[in-house]
Amino acid sequence: MIPAPTSRLRFREMTDGDLDLMAGLLGDPAVMTFYPRPKTRDEALGWIRWNQRNYAEHGYGLWIVETDDGRFVGDCGLTWQPVGGGKVLEVGYHTVPALQGRGYATDAARACVDLALGPVGETHVVAIINPANTPSRRVAEKLGMRLEQETEVHGRHVVVYGRGA
């Protein structure tokens, strides 16, 4: 199950051949500003493998996002995350710095939310965001999400935006 292409973007599953792209993305300090630290190359490979397991287990995960002419934009997709003692379906996204601020994260995340609330059959999807990450909060708001709670996830203080079907 892959999100439908948008007018500017297309999606595909991550493969081991994407290691250079993902290591560059997840190893970039600008992209990882709101994470504890940039990821190493080995951690980027772990990220790819985690998503491959998600595809096998759930039928979805984070996908590679490309422009319609094949330029790498980043990743975006759906993963289960622990919040408040339960699991919630999160839409997550990372965009290469050179393409930030062009609406690609919003376009990609909207396609993923549409997939989650449509064919996947979920009734609720969230975005888990560092409170200081104003651009990501704006993306969530553009998706029609509203602030639902502040909590701890993976030992970090976060805000959780959500939207129902």
> Is 116 a residue whose pLDDT tops 90?
yes
> The tokens of 76 are what?
């975006």
Residue with tokens 């996908």: 63
Q: What is the pLDDT of residues 122-153, one digit of tens each?
A: 999 999 999 999 999 999 999 999 999 999 88
Q: What is the pLDDT of residues 45-80, one digit of tens each?
A: 999 999 999 999 999 999 999 999 999 999 999 999
Separation between Cα atoms, residue 37 and residue 87, nearest integer Å: 24
> Domain extents for the chain?
9-164
pLDDT of residue 98: 94
Please, are residues 72 and 96 in contact by the beta-carbon 8 Å criterion? yes
pLDDT of residue 123: 95
Q: What are phi and psi of 152, to 5 degrees?
A: -110, 135
Query: What is the assigned CATH class of domain 9-164?
Result: alpha beta
